[in-house]
Structure 1
Amino acid sequence: MASVTGSSEETDQQVVATPSAPAAKPDIKQTMADLDALLGIEDKPEEEAPQESKPADAGSGKITISPDVLRALAEAEAARAEKMGSAASSGEMQSRITDSIERIVEQAKKMAEEEGKSTENRSLGEEAVRKELNNLYTALASDKKGVDPEDLKKIKEQVFGATTFWVTETRPLAMQTLELGVAVRGNLRGKREAVFKEVCEKVAAMFGDKYVVRLVEDPEASLEDMNMGGGSDGAPPEPRVLFEILPASAAQPQATVGWQRAAAAVLLVLTLGSTLQFGLAANIGLLPKETLQWLANPANLNSDMLPPGLETFDPVPFLSSTGNVFMVTLLPQLLHELAHAAVASSRGIKIAPSFLIPNSQLGTFGSVTQLKSMVRSRTDLFDFSAAALVAGGLASMGLFLAGLAASHGGGTPEPGLLPVPSQLFQGSLLLGGIAKLGLGSEALSHAQVYVSPLLVGGWCGLVTTALNCLPVGNLDGGRTMLSAFGRSSLAVSSLLSYVGLGLGLLGSSLALPFGLYVLICQRTAETYIQDEVSGVSERRRAIAGALIAFAIITLIPMAPEVADVAAVGSPSNFI
């Protein structure tokens, strides 16, 4: 990092460049060699850590210049310029950068010669170096179409101040997704929410929709920097914050394009197919026994002959039951998506078409719902995510309980009931326990249990909801965790979720495919939150905790001995 510091509290522009850029032109290399010679830096092997230059003066006014950063800055810009189609533009930009660096080196030489002499000359020298660094920043910022330095200067002078946020430092952001923005560090001088609102309103009044302001925790702040306020109520210390000024184009996710709509349509068709296939598989027990025995032989699958037992088989009940399972399995996911859309509409959140994820064991794993606009606060993000989980979960639980009531104990075959293996109920501590109470131990002691299609659809919906409640990545559960407890808590819960899925402790046979799905599609936490510091209400935090608890007790398998204890004294028909 290259910085200039003076006796005042405020620190001027700092410029950060990627150190992994290709080699620069010979004239830049010569300039950097001169800078190395001036600062007494010798060539070092690559494995050695770079050493920062010593201050030119240990007094109240001092200059600290990191030659490695200036070198990397020049090299990176030269490499970028070489990729541009216009040779004239490339040469002009490189010339401007080289000239600025040479003037900085020359001024540093003069300051070194003036050491111990006139304080006034040294102050003029410091101001000259500061001006050159600002010119260098201006050249790069204007070329990258980031935050205009003149606009940033107006924001520092007219938006921030002694009564809102006292600026001490500005520098480009290092985040890949928001790299064109500027981080503004300083000291908060008022109530956080009020200051943030005032800053946003002033920036909008000055520049319209040209820039977006974000409020985030300062990652470099120490415990001593935290606001230990809270008074006698025992409130936890507030984190030190910084503001990010972003061009509107960099602050918004990429707009939905045609291929994304096409992909969403294809995935919808595939999910309908996987759900229909699941419905057929759930009803396969309704086929005649001789047909099932014939289908169990793989050699018969290539035969053109009609399977035995189907000559007099009435397909209407089979197809009707398959359609029922198909519809009730998709219903919770439909309500999930409608809840997303309703909250997004009420909070001004733009979303992309949902990418449904097909799965043969459940019909669907849920969906990937991408944000296409900045979310104003963690509260809005929480409501957007939690509303969908609650809607899908309540609908699934309603189907599950209705299915238990319609199963009539599950001990005898009846029209409209499906035979399912009793081992299914061992896959979930919560759902297996409820089924044990509703159907009774005697029914579950048989190899097969006869249940309503409503129970099958509710079971699948509850397991899908529980999987998406896991506090990991960009799942709805991850978004609720981020909103309720912060990014650090999400990092810990994501690690624990990956461990649980990897060891098969959560989700049983679904753990591996769902874990791969999360790693490929949902591992990155949500970034586009405007106010990432202000938390949510205690009621929302309690809901987040309840969703996580629901996910754990639903996805943990039920041990047989635990199930037996839970069923002691339970009625044969719970509903």
Structure 2
Amino acid sequence: MLVATIHQHASLTARCLSLPAHRVQPRGARRNLWSPVRAQQQPGDGSGSGEDVPPPPAAEQPPPSAPAVATEEPPAAEDANLQLPPEVIQRLRTTVFGFDTFFVTGVENYQADGVLFRGNLRGEPAAAYAKLTARLQAELGEQYKLYLLENREELPVAVVLPLASVLPQLGPLPEQLLAAGLGLASVATTLNIFGADLFNAALLTANWDAAAVAAAAPGAAAFVGILGVHELAHAVVAKQRGLQLAPPIFIPAGLGLLGSFGAVTRFKSFVPTRADLAAVAAAGPLASSAVAAAVMLAGAALSAQGVGGIELAVDSFKESLLAGALGQAVFGDQLFTMEAVDTNPLFVAGWAGLIINAINCLPVGELDGGRTFLGLCGRRAAARVGAVTLLLLGLAGFSNSLSLFWLILVVTLQRGPILPCDQELSSIEDAGTKYAAIAALVLPLLVLLPYPAVLSITNGLPDLPPTF
């Protein structure tokens, strides 16, 4: 059910993002493979030359008192070939779009049920979008959704889709049941990682070791708490910005130190801007990493006092810049002369939390890092960097188990594309949001690079040290 849910969300996103290139290729020309679905060019829309029709000279523009009209009334035959009703196209052309917002130069079919308007943006994107949506609602009510995006040539386009085709299709009850079930499974796998040994035949009898579960509880609770802070921070920032999130769906792991791979979280409401997307995405890993670092420091202090419980191979400290530096500060230079070191479960929980948050900040797919990078740099840059990140994960997967597992997770559940914002033409202006996004993207460098920080593709993500 989880895979079906994510794929349903990805299908919806793809409908909103397969924007055709602005220029029309002649018959026999090589197809632009950027989009899997090619828009249908409509005759008589003023785009036959492949260039935008320039805006009319000042003399032809309506006087200030005249109503804004984007284009001349189109032929009825042209509108009849489009996927929205001709009367809707007519009202969009003459009432919604205008000289003061978006000057339409061409109209074409978009995917299975939408229409794409090419043209020239007038004024600031945020102000133009506010006017367009207000006019759309006044003219056509809540029947249609409008996006203001960039096409592959970084030119502005407006996409209008029936609202029914972009609303989430999964009911709340199945999603809540899925979230609850996988959440409980993640708690079980986390307890198992910290020594509860739940997954054996003894669990089904009266002879299973309750004391082992009690001993594993502090470390497991710390790790689950770190994950909870991650999701809580997402929810708090989303609420501050008037957005709604679906229940987080945790992915059980039970691999090395990791009891869970974190959660898949989707938006239930439309995201207005790239700044909103980046703010919500970056909040989770930043808040959770701060808590994880504090838990790790507390565990390091207890470990230095001889309060241990979990043996870690010393070589594992060499695989994380942050963990190596902290380990050397606590245990001294002799750390790397030993084979193993006895550590407190809180140290392990904090380290595992940092690893999860750092991996989630990788700029790929619908991970927090992918959403943050898109918000900061735009969709084209995010697509390119995401492809490079996937390639590096694939190469690292030949020698590193965690890289391979995370590559599989991204490809199957989190590959995207990211659901578009209402308008993606505006960059992030708030300095706080911008710095938070940059900090989130720097986190993987601090946690995942080896100690000393030697850049090597084959090192990949830090291998998970043995817990027993």
Fold similarity call, TM over 0.5: yes
1:274 is matched with 189
- 2:228 is the counterpart of 1:329: no
Letter paired with 1:214: Y
> Structure 1 pair 212/302, CA: closer, same or farther in 2 (3 Å)?
closer
Give 1:509 deviation, angstroms: 2.9
> Structure 1 pair 475/506, CA: closer, same or farther in 2 (3 Å)?
farther
CA contact 2:148–2:423 (8 Å) conserved in 1: yes
Q: Distance in 2 between matches of 1:199 and 1:493?
A: 32
2:265 is matched with 369
Q: TM-score, normalised by structure 2?
A: 0.74
CA contact 2:194–2:345 (8 Å) conserved in 1: no
Give secondary structure in 1 for the equivalent of 2:98: coil
Letter paired with 1:357: I
> Structure 1 pair 376/507, CA: closer, same or farther in 2 (3 Å)?
farther
CA contact 1:373–1:528 (8 Å) conserved in 2: no
> Structure 1 pair 302/206, CA: closer, same or farther in 2 (3 Å)?
closer
1:109 is matched with none
Letter paired with 1:447: E
Selected match of 1:261 from 152, 176, 193: 176
1:397 is matched with 293
2:149 is matched with 216
Once the two structures are superposed, what CA deviation does each residue of 1:357-416 show, in whole Å capped at 9, x if it has no partner? 11112011111112222111111111111111111111111111111122226xxxx455
| 269-278 vs 418-427, which moves further | 418-427
Selected match of 1:452 from 335, 338, 344: 344
CA contact 1:172–1:181 (8 Å) conserved in 2: yes
CA contact 1:506–1:555 (8 Å) conserved in 2: no
Give 1:302 deviation, angstroms: 10
Letter paired with 2:110: L
1:295 is matched with none
- 2:100 is the counterpart of 1:160: no
Q: Distance in 1 between matches of 2:143 and 2:201?
A: 65
Selected match of 1:135 from 80, 83, 87: 80
Q: Distance in 2 between matches of 1:148 and 1:474?
A: 34
How many residue pairs were aligned?
Answer: 383
In the TM superposition, 1:510-525 aligns within 5 A as 510-525=402-417
Letter paired with 2:406: F
Q: Distance in 1 between matches of 2:293 and 2:201?
A: 41
CA contact 1:506–1:557 (8 Å) conserved in 2: no
Identity %: 30
Letter paired with 2:80: N
Give secondary structure in 2 for the equivalent of 1:360: strand
2:48 is matched with none
> Structure 1 pair 388/256, CA: closer, same or farther in 2 (3 Å)?
farther
> Structure 1 pair 451/157, CA: closer, same or farther in 2 (3 Å)?
same
| 258-267 vs 208-217, which moves further | 258-267
Letter paired with 1:134: D
Letter paired with 1:407: S
- 2:162 is the counterpart of 1:247: yes
Letter paired with 2:151: D
- 2:438 is the counterpart of 1:545: yes
CA contact 1:501–1:512 (8 Å) conserved in 2: yes
Q: Distance in 2 between matches of 1:548 and 1:51?
A: 43
Q: Distance in 1 between matches of 2:238 and 2:414?
A: 20
Q: Distance in 2 between matches of 1:218 and 1:504?
A: 33
In the TM superposition, 1:10-49 aligns within 5 A as none
| Structure 1, unpaired ranges of 5+ | 1-48, 53-68, 74-126, 142-146, 222-238, 285-300, 304-309, 563-575
Selected match of 2:134 from 172, 191, 201: 201
CA contact 1:469–1:477 (8 Å) conserved in 2: yes
Once the two structures are superposed, what CA deviation does each residue of 1:293-336 show, in whole Å capped at 9, x if it has no partner? xxxxxxxx999xxxxxx9xxx985x5443111110111110111
Q: Distance in 2 between matches of 1:408 and 1:51?
A: 71
Give secondary structure in 2 for the equivalent of 1:503: helix
Give secondary structure in 2 for the equivalent of 1:254: coil
Give 1:525 deviation, angstroms: 2.3
Give 1:477 deviation, angstroms: 0.8
1:183 is matched with 116
Once the two structures are superposed, what CA deviation does each residue of 1:327-349 show, in whole Å capped at 9, x if it has no partner? 01111101111112222333332
Q: Distance in 1 between matches of 2:251 and 2:170?
A: 21
> Structure 1 pair 473/51, CA: closer, same or farther in 2 (3 Å)?
closer
More helix by share: 1
1:483 is matched with 375
Letter paired with 1:186: G
Give secondary structure in 1 for the equivalent of 2:363: coil
Give 1:547 deviation, angstroms: 2.0
2:241 is matched with 347
Give 1:158 deviation, angstroms: 1.6
Q: Distance in 2 between matches of 1:560 and 1:382?
A: 28
Give 1:51 deviation, angstroms: 5.6
Q: Distance in 2 between matches of 1:506 and 1:330?
A: 30
| Structure 2, unpaired ranges of 5+ | 1-25, 30-38, 43-71, 456-468
Q: Distance in 1 between matches of 2:114 and 2:451?
A: 50
2:106 is matched with 169
Letter paired with 2:415: R
Letter paired with 2:99: A
Give 1:170 deviation, angstroms: 1.3
Give secondary structure in 1 for the equivalent of 2:272: strand
Q: Distance in 2 between matches of 1:162 and 1:371?
A: 33
1:96 is matched with none
CA RMSD of aligned residues (A): 3.3
Q: Distance in 1 between matches of 2:399 and 2:120?
A: 47
2:232 is matched with 338
Once the two structures are superposed, what CA deviation does each residue of 1:436-467 show, in whole Å capped at 9, x if it has no partner? 12321224422221222211110000000011
> Structure 1 pair 275/507, CA: closer, same or farther in 2 (3 Å)?
farther
Q: Distance in 2 between matches of 1:251 and 1:257?
A: 16
Give 1:479 deviation, angstroms: 0.4
1:89 is matched with none
Q: Distance in 1 between matches of 2:379 and 2:351?
A: 32
Give secondary structure in 2 for the equivalent of 1:376: coil
Give 1:264 deviation, angstroms: 2.0
> Structure 1 pair 402/446, CA: closer, same or farther in 2 (3 Å)?
same
2:3 is matched with none
> Structure 1 pair 357/461, CA: closer, same or farther in 2 (3 Å)?
same
Once the two structures are superposed, what CA deviation does each residue of 1:262-301 show, in whole Å capped at 9, x if it has no partner? 32222112211110110117x99xxxxxxxxxxxxxxxx9
Give 1:164 deviation, angstroms: 2.4
Letter paired with 1:268: G
CA contact 2:96–2:139 (8 Å) conserved in 1: no
- 2:451 is the counterpart of 1:558: yes
2:87 is matched with 150
Give secondary structure in 2 for the equivalent of 1:194: helix
Q: Distance in 2 between matches of 1:341 and 1:560?
A: 34
Q: Distance in 2 between matches of 1:555 and 1:500?
A: 13
Letter paired with 2:304: H
CA contact 2:95–2:139 (8 Å) conserved in 1: no
Q: TM-score, normalised by structure 1?
A: 0.61
Q: Which has the higher contact order (CA 8 A, sep 6+)?
A: 2
Give 1:474 deviation, angstroms: 0.5
